[in-house]
Structure 1
Amino acid sequence: MKKTLRTIFLLTLIAGLMSFRYLGILDDVIGAMKAGSSDQLARYFDNVVEITMPDKSNSYSKSQAEMIMKDFFNNYKVKSFDVLHKGDNGSSNYCIGNLQTKDGKFRTTLFVKQKGDKQFLQEIRIEAQAP
């Protein structure tokens, strides 16, 4: 009985520690959004990143995605990014938040996916919200 309880405790502890590890990457991505920093954000990009914005939607290479986000942050100066929800689905994590800029508010969804022993930002959705 003691052995079974010890095993359950260890498995729960390991699972909890692994989930914190994954959320750390998502937290770094959120920090880059709060800073309005395309170069910080690009550190976590996968080789191909799907970006959806009010005026464009496509899959971009890592370097193209960085330029798209740089243009966005130059046009819309970030005031704040408030996380509404974080979640995970197996090997992927996501975050839904409100990005407040000088020129408007955007509902933003970020998707991070596990590949091997690393996680990468694979998708960014930025949708304009009515004032």
Structure 2
Amino acid sequence: MHNLKRIIFFVGLLFSVAGLSANSFQEKIPNDIIISLETGNAKLLSGYFNQNVELVVLDNDNVYSKAQAQQIVNNFFNSFSPVPENAFSIIHDGGKADAKYVIGKLVTEKGNFRVYFLLKKNGDKDYIHQLRIEKQ
């Protein structure tokens, strides 16, 4: 009986720690990135772009400068406006301290898109190195 209590305690502890680490990871994703996707704000999003960004947005698939990437994403948001409420939701995220990825769903007025981005830390700031917005 004593061993059963220990096992239950350790299993509970394991789930608690796993829950805490998942929540703390999500907090490390800059909120402005989420807001920019929810509102279709390419300028805010581009503030997190690395100097060169691997970008896949509809027919655009290449490595672009920060300014070019902002223009492409802006054109996308002009054509596919996010719905007003809860337009972007995170489906999965992971990574490590200096590189994180997010997979999410973007709901627009003209359909749903799968969004993937890769963040890498440079100094104390996260930068988007890859961004994919693909039709679901």
Aligned to 1:40: 44
Matched, 1:52 2:56: yes
1:64 aligned onto 2:68:
yes
Distance 1:20 1:87, change over 3 A: closer
Return the match for 2:116 from 85, 106, 109: 109
- 2:28 paired residue number: 23
- Give the paired residue count: 111
Give 3-state SS (helix, strand or coil) of 2:28's partner.
Answer: helix
| Long gaps (5+) in structure 2 | 1-20
Q: What is the CA–CA distance in structure 2 between the aligned matches of 1:109 and 1:48, rounded to whole Å?
A: 16
Structure 1 consecutive aligned stretches of length 4 or more whose deviation exceeds 2 Å: 19-22
> Is the Cα contact below 8 Å between 2:89 and 2:106 reproduced in 1?
yes
Change (3 A) 1:23 1:103: same
Answer with 1 or 2: which has the greater Rg. 2
- Confirm or deny that 1:86 pairs with 2:93: yes
Q: 1:47 to 1:73 in 2, by over 3 A?
A: same
Structure 1 residues 71 and 91, CA, compared in 2 at 3 Å: closer, same or farther?
same
How far apart, in 1, do the equivalents of 2:88 and 2:34 lie? 8
**Kept after mapping to 1: 8 A contact 2:117/2:131:** yes
Cα distance between partner residues in 1 of 2:34 and 2:76: 16
The normalised TM-score by structure 2 is 0.74
Identity of aligned residues (%): 36
- Please name the residue that 1:120 is paired with: 127
In the alignment, which residue of structure 2 is the partner of 1:99? 106
The two structures have a TM-score, normalised by structure 1, of 0.77
Note if contact 2:90-2:103 (Cα within 8 Å) is conserved in structure 1: yes
3-state SS of paired residue (1:65):
helix
Q: Name the Cα RMSD after superposition.
A: 1.9
How far 1:22 moved relative to its partner? 7.2
Quote the Cα distance in structure 1 between the aligned partners of 2:82 and 2:56: 18
Confirm or deny: 8 A CA contact 1:23 1:93 kept in the other structure.
no
Q: 1:20 to 1:89 in 2, by over 3 A?
A: closer
How far the C-alpha of 1:92 sits from its partner, in A, is 0.7
